[in-house]
Amino acid sequence: MLNEQMRLSLRKRLGEAYFRDDRETLVSYSYDATPMLQSMPDGVVFPRDTEDVAFVLKLANEHRVPIIGRGAGTNLCGGTVPVEGGIVMVMNRMNKLLEIDTDNLTATFQPGLNTKEFHLAVEAQGLFYPPDPSSMVISTLGGNIMECAGGLRGLKYGTTKDYVIGLEAVLPSGEVIRTGGKLYKDVAGYDLTKLLVGSEGTLAIITEATVKLVAAPVYKQTMLALYTDIHAAARSVSSIIRHRIVPATLEFIDNPTLRVVEAYNKLGLPTDMEAVLLIEQDGVDESVVAKDMEEMIRLCREEGAASVQMARDADEAERLMKARRSALSTLSRIRPTTILEDATVPRSKIADMVLEINRIAKKYELQICTFGHAGDGNLHPTCTTDARDAEEIHRVEQAFEEIFEAAIGFGGTITGEHGVGTVKAPFLEWKVGEAGIALMRSLKLAFDPNNIMNPGKIFAKSSRKRVVVNR
Amino acid sequence: MLNEQMRLSLRKRLGEAYFRDDRETLVSYSYDATPMLQSMPDGVVFPRDTEDVAFVLKLANEHRVPIIGRGAGTNLCGGTVPVEGGIVMVMNRMNKLLEIDTDNLTATFQPGLNTKEFHLAVEAQGLFYPPDPSSMVISTLGGNIMECAGGLRGLKYGTTKDYVIGLEAVLPSGEVIRTGGKLYKDVAGYDLTKLLVGSEGTLAIITEATVKLVAAPVYKQTMLALYTDIHAAARSVSSIIRHRIVPATLEFIDNPTLRVVEAYNKLGLPTDMEAVLLIEQDGVDESVVAKDMEEMIRLCREEGAASVQMARDADEAERLMKARRSALSTLSRIRPTTILEDATVPRSKIADMVLEINRIAKKYELQICTFGHAGDGNLHPTCTTDARDAEEIHRVEQAFEEIFEAAIGFGGTITGEHGVGTVKAPFLEWKVGEAGIALMRSLKLAFDPNNIMNPGKIFAKSSRKRVVVNR
């Protein structure tokens, strides 16, 4: 797909080290964190600056060669797998934190910047950038923006989309656009900024971003509520919300997840519980945080929690949060393949959804552990399986189809924070309808008339038929 | 432009009362709140439901007749003036509040619902919908969504865009799409919801919306800081932000505005002050609100406020806020024509921008009063003039060109919350560039290939050349 002339041209522009087409490099960029998905690129580029990006895009566009932008490849939807070959564009050289502006409470950076590194730099100034995907130690901000990453603090603080206010982006033509700025309000034309956030590399390559920052919460308290009844846990979530408390974190962990997490982390959690809520409140005022915690303890007890306990100290709180964040990696130790999904429902439907997931798991004789962000209805049903067992994988696929179907039925969506990628493309029509797909396709063409930007993502060659679920 | 067959067809579908083409009705819908702009429509329709909207759009699309969606017509950018004729679609019959969901903290309504009425209904449930454009007593939520209305609470709570999470919309083809839902997280494909918010009726007609609600603040305090030095006022704004306090309202009023507001409202404000900051903090905890207010009083004094005073009681606070909200209507009593703009800058540039506006006003011998949302850099330079005086109006136009130029120069934008409409279309290129305009045009075509949706808005026939400003 890459002819000799293109290779020469890329090598000349970027240098030997930054255009690679040796087999080892190609293999390294043929997969990402998504299980069971691999496809070889034809070349890999490492641009140094916006001009490099524009050069490569223009050339690729002229030759109709796919461009797959990539940060750390931690996504779970196959978003950075070069399913149609082409050039993987790795943004890790463009990783500068350009500015933290304490007067305007904004930060400006290049897309390759590591998420956790950015958090630490911002927090050192007494400021706070809330989006905290579980992969944040490895992930890049550019990847977070392209997938609209969420995390554990979404309920109170929102997701990546709520923070990005300005972008520099290179169109497939090589033209550079700038959207928004250090502006909390800007209605000059269509909101290209929010359109690019979550566009999964299918529209443009972003080369710089400006985000809003908020005041860092100074106080934080953590508690665990344990339940023998999953409904009581779900009722507690609703009750907290109904009482107008917005905790920073409101995580749900079901029994299968609990058992695995406990087995590997030895936190002393009682593994006979059906559900656990891990709740954190933060704020700039200690008494308000304390009052919220007291009220939430009362509400959890009222709804039938078997036990509610506060983390004794910051260390214990940190261990609990770490255990929760490590749920995916812990689960992945059980069996060879771990498939984590993120069906999302209105938060009043969490109990219904978890029970439905359990029913489906039983029907297909699978182990599905469910944990996730209960406060915003974003659940992560996670199947531990074995990719080598074709028959079992077929059942896994059927189960997830039913899970997506159920989420849609509850007024939910097929993906809350992971993106569509290749993995969920066949199901997108269930959520947005035929007219929605057609419209999105035409928006894609407006940006990318030759379909070179991450082709094969978001849009499926054919949509999956909806299963008739026998309930 | 409307042939007899179309008139018959519309009359038959909608009924005599709801398709109008009599002269009186046409004149009534030939203008909106924007000064010096009028253009006759060919017909006016009042749809009852989504099916009516789809019927009219499909018919108009087949006949290539412009459709201008309209709420209460309170916009200030010419957004609802039928500059190319066609059919004005008035949404006031579709004004139902469909649901307030206290479990999911969402509300769902039709676009014709009055903003203030909605606020009251939500607040009766102990909930809160923050966007509060100054026109909210008259405006509709559909209009607020199409223009992405802001208001006085934007700094702390964001604008309309931050609240809309689901839409039903009719495309020009008559197809109905649904975006988002009661979901705090949804990344299934491109974010059509946020793209439609602020699209000024140029892409689709929205027929239903779902918004997030938040807990109602229970406590509120209001203060006034008076300054003999405009820089001291601007420094106070920066200092408050830098000290990580986010007040609910942080409004700026300059001396000319102050004098006019005082003359008509008799609030006892000292009219020799150069600038006033009107500051409000709210919250669910009384002590936190009180602490923030104390700290802000201290900071304003520290930066050189001549006087800082708390509103004695809720009544006085309400009178102050009302005076601020009435600034536009008060200013409009001075001279026959009032032109209010909304150039917006990063908030650290407020003092520079106000001084620049004053310089420009002096240069062109005009009276320009400036007030606005200092906390988010959104200023409203307002010129009192006379549309009958062509020579003066020419100077007004030149002055506003320079004001936009200055805003862009400070890293700002030509419109923070009013929209582009017809009024600012010639200046859009200054903000988004040639490539940005081309991209936006192609997005418009993706929705509306026949250009029937509110034509003549956002995109100008030709862009204004940038003035070379002599500073």
Nearest by CB: A188 against B185, B428, B443: B428
CATH topology of domain A335-419: Alpha-Beta Plaits (3.30.70)
CB-defined contacts A:B, below 8 A: 262
CATH topology of domain B335-421: Alpha-Beta Plaits (3.30.70)
Q: Distance between CA atoms of A152 and A131, rounded to whole angstroms?
A: 8
Residue A235: pLDDT over 80: yes
Is A432 close to B155, i.e. CB distance below 8 A?
no
Is A346 close to B182, i.e. CB distance below 8 A?
yes
Average pLDDT rounded to a whole number, residues A105-133: 97
Neighbours of B158 (CB within 10 A): 20
For residue A441, the chain B residue with the least C-alpha distance is: B446
For residue A434, the chain B residue with the least C-alpha distance is: B177
Buried b (16+ CB within 10 A) or exposed e, A420-435: bbbbbbbbbbbbbbeb
DSSP string of B272-292, one letter each residue? T-SEEEEEEEEES-HHHHHHH
Q: Tell me how close the Cα of B52 comes to any Cα of chain A, in angstroms.
A: 19
Every domain of chain A and the residues it spans? 4-90, 100-215, 219-326, 335-419
Which of A385, A429, A421, A386 shows the shortest CA–CA distance to A404? A429
Residue A467: pLDDT over 80: no
Residues of A in Cβ contact (< 8 Å) with B241: 103-105
Residues of B in Cβ contact (< 8 Å) with A344: 183, 185-186
Q: Tell me how close the Cα of B170 comes to any Cα of chain A, in angstroms.
A: 10
- A219-326 and A335-419: same fold? yes
A72 vs B464, residue with greater confidence: A72
Specify whether domain A100-215 bears CATH 3.30.465.10: yes
Tokens of A55: 């050069």
Residues of B in Cβ contact (< 8 Å) with A103: 238, 241-242, 347-348
Q: What is the pLDDT of residue A469?
A: 38
Question: Contact at 8 Å (CB) between A163 and B395?
Answer: no
Helix, strand, or coil here: A243? coil
Which of B414, B410, B367 shows the shortest CA–CA distance to B392? B367
Average pLDDT rounded to a whole number, residues A199-206: 98
Residues of B in Cβ contact (< 8 Å) with A183: 344-346, 376-377, 411-413, 416
Nearest by CB: A186 against B126, B177, B413: B413
Q: Tell me how close the Cα of A54 comes to any Cα of chain B, in angstroms.
A: 14
Which of B317, B330, B464, B304 shows the shortest CA–CA distance to B398? B464
Which DSSP category does A20 fall into? Answer: E
Nearest by CB: B419 against A147, A187, A344: A187
pLDDT per position as a tens digit, A421-448: 999 999 999 999 999 999 999 999 999 9
Q: Tell me how close the Cα of B101 comes to any Cα of chain A, in angstroms.
A: 10
Burial of residue A365 (number of CB atoms within 10 Å: 0-12, 13-18, 19+): exposed
Residue A468: pLDDT over 80: no
Q: What is the pLDDT of residue A321?
A: 86
Is A195 close to B199, i.e. CB distance below 8 A?
no
Residue A225: pLDDT over 70: yes
Mutation target vs B (from A108, A186, A299; most B CBs, 10 A cutoff): A186
Average pLDDT rounded to a whole number, residues A452-460: 97
For residue B184, the chain A residue with the least C-alpha distance is: A376
Q: Tell me how close the Cα of B132 comes to any Cα of chain A, in angstroms.
A: 14
Is A161 close to B347, i.e. CB distance below 8 A?
no
What order of strands is seen across the sheet that includes strand A106-109? A97-101, A106-109, A205-212, A164-170, A176-180
Phi/psi at B45 (5° precision): -120, 150
**How sure is the predictor about A319, in pLDDT bands with cuts at 50, 70 and 90?**
confident
Neighbours of A305 (CB within 10 A): 25
Cα radius of gyration rounded to whole Å, chain A: 22
Q: What is the pLDDT of residue A466?
A: 58
Specify whether domain B4-90 bears CATH 1.20.1260.10: no
Phi/psi at A378 (5° precision): -100, 100
Residues of A in Cβ contact (< 8 Å) with B419: 187
What order of strands is seen across the sheet that includes strand A219-227? A307-310, A219-227, A275-283, A249-254, A368-373, A378-385, A337-340
Nearest by CB: B446 against A105, A197, A439: A439
Is A194 close to B195, i.e. CB distance below 8 A?
yes
CATH architecture of the domain formed by B219-330: 2-Layer Sandwich (3.30)
Q: Distance between CA atoms of A313 and A328, rounded to whole angstroms?
A: 25
Residues of B in Cβ contact (< 8 Å) with A424: 188
Is B416 close to A346, i.e. CB distance below 8 A?
no
Tokens of A145: 């923006």
Q: What is the pLDDT of residue A84?
A: 97
Q: What is the pLDDT of residue B471?
A: 34
Nearest by CB: A348 against B104, B198, B199: B104
CA angle B440, B446, B451 (to 5 degrees): 85
Q: Tell me how close the Cα of A149 comes to any Cα of chain B, in angstroms.
A: 9
Tokens of B25: 């009705």
Residues of B in Cβ contact (< 8 Å) with A244: 126, 215-216, 284
Q: What is the pLDDT of residue B326?
A: 83
- List per-residue pLDDT tens for chain B, 471 residues long: 799 999 999 999 999 999 999 999 999 999 999 999 999 999 999 999 999 999 999 999 999 999 999 999 999 999 999 999 999 999 999 999 999 999 899 999 999 999 999 999 999 999 999 999 999 999 999 999 999 999 989 989 999 999 999 999 999 999 999 999 999 899 999 999 999 999 999 999 999 999 999 999 999 999 999 999 988 998 999 899 889 899 999 999 999 899 998 998 888 889 999 999 999 999 988 999 999 999 999 999 999 999 999 998 889 888 888 888 888 888 888 899 999 999 899 988 998 999 999 999 999 999 999 999 998 899 999 999 999 999 999 999 999 999 999 999 999 999 999 999 999 999 999 999 999 999 999 999 999 999 999 999 999 988 776 544 333
For residue B190, the chain A residue with the least C-alpha distance is: A199
CATH number, domain B97-215? 3.30.465.10
Which DSSP category does A140 fall into? Answer: B
Average pLDDT rounded to a whole number, residues A177-203: 96
Largest CA distance in chain A: 71
Q: Tell me how close the Cα of A389 comes to any Cα of chain B, in angstroms.
A: 30
For residue B169, the chain A residue with the least C-alpha distance is: A436
Q: What is the pLDDT of residue A463?
A: 78
Is A185 close to B435, i.e. CB distance below 8 A?
no
Question: Contact at 8 Å (CB) between B96 and B110?
Answer: yes
Q: Which CATH class is domain A219-326?
A: alpha beta
Residues of B in Cβ contact (< 8 Å) with A178: 432-433, 436
pLDDT per position as a tens digit, A9-53: 999 999 999 999 999 999 999 999 999 999 999 999 999 999 999
B467 vs A408, residue with greater confidence: A408
Residue A77: pLDDT over 50: yes
**How sure is the predictor about A465, in pLDDT bands with cuts at 50, 70 and 90?**
low
Q: Tell me how close the Cα of A102 comes to any Cα of chain B, in angstroms.
A: 6
Is A433 close to B287, i.e. CB distance below 8 A?
no
Residues of B in Cβ contact (< 8 Å) with A377: 183-185
Which DSSP category does B467 fall into? Answer: P
Neighbours of A23 (CB within 10 A): 9
Percent of chain A scored above 70 by pLDDT?
Answer: 99
Residues of A in Cβ contact (< 8 Å) with B163: none
Largest CA distance in chain B: 71
Q: Distance between CA atoms of B62 and B57, rounded to whole angstroms?
A: 9
Phi/psi at B365 (5° precision): 55, 55
Nearest by CB: A104 against B346, B415, B418: B346
